[in-house]
Structure 1
Amino acid sequence: MLAYGVTTDFMDEYVQIGESTAIESLKIFVKVMVDIFSKEYLRSPNNKDITRILANGERRGFLGMLGSIDCIHWKGKNCQVVWKGQYSSHIHKPIIVLEAVASFDLWIWHAFFGLLGSNNDINALERSPIFSKLEEGRAPAVNYSINGHEYTMRYYLTDGIYLKWSTFVKTIPSPRGQKRKLFVKAQEANRKDIERAFGVLQSRFTIVCGPIRFFYSETLQDIMKACVILHNMIVEDARDVNEVVELD
């Protein structure tokens, strides 16, 4: 059900259990996954992870970059009428928003899920805890120099809808000149990390790509978080442990 997004009546004879039992088993499985593994696989990057991510960003020409941030929408199917208005977006269908940050290896370091579909990416950012440590002064310092200017703040690559914050590096609309065109090409190429992560997540776990078939937000959050946890487990298993990283 997680991997292929099938309904319970499609596979109840195969596993030889009732439909209600299959649904209850799915709910228990995703809840246990979140309770046991969220601390390890839904955490923020530690110092070792930050060093590896920054080293890769430097090789790609973006010093101080921690990854890319973006949102995707999970479309609903049988949303209750009383909720449909607040969950409906510009496509006039009930959806739930997932905000995520992914690094070059497609590991999802931040997953904020559950915001109503009537909100856009900026509204999701305002509710998101992604910068909570930075606001409290607990974020690890990062020092780097670009064109003679010293910087101490990390940043994420974003698309054009995000605000002009020092923690975001956006693309340049309608670039003029060879330098700006080269920057836009490099920024958009590296920002595809989050798009690739979303594509791989949805291809591995079709349940988050197909229509939502559950009503309660707690169940939906457990399903999405469990899929992200399993995705990160696969990324960790496929990671090259012999990768050499310059620790400066």
Structure 2
Amino acid sequence: MNRSLFTRIVRDLSANYPYFQEGCDVVGKAGISALVKCTSAIRQLAYAAVPDSLDEYLQIGEKTSRDCLMHFCNGVIELYGEDIDCTKWPWAQCPQAYRAQFSRGDSGSEPFILLEAVASQDL
């Protein structure tokens, strides 16, 4: 993901959702920034990272990391839902060993690849 897209998502989430707005705790210490919260969510999605694997890298706990992912996904769907387009392409030559990984019960038994594109009208 390029930097300008990432910063735009962080900026939009910060502007629209209190969870991504930086606050202070009881002692007056600054909370976790929107940049760190979004980085946590993106890393979990991109690398299939478990929430507690980001503890040392981003200095956030497992529960906070899970919450970041949940709020990030909900926010992106709400903000950009109409710009997200998904297309299922059947995979006719799918190797037998991979058939279960690329099939879902609610989409029939044939394997497919899901292509997703996000684009706004100005792009």
TM-score in terms of structure 1 length: 0.23
> Which one has the largest radius of gyration?
1
Q: Which has the higher helix share?
A: 2
**Greater percentage in strand:** 1
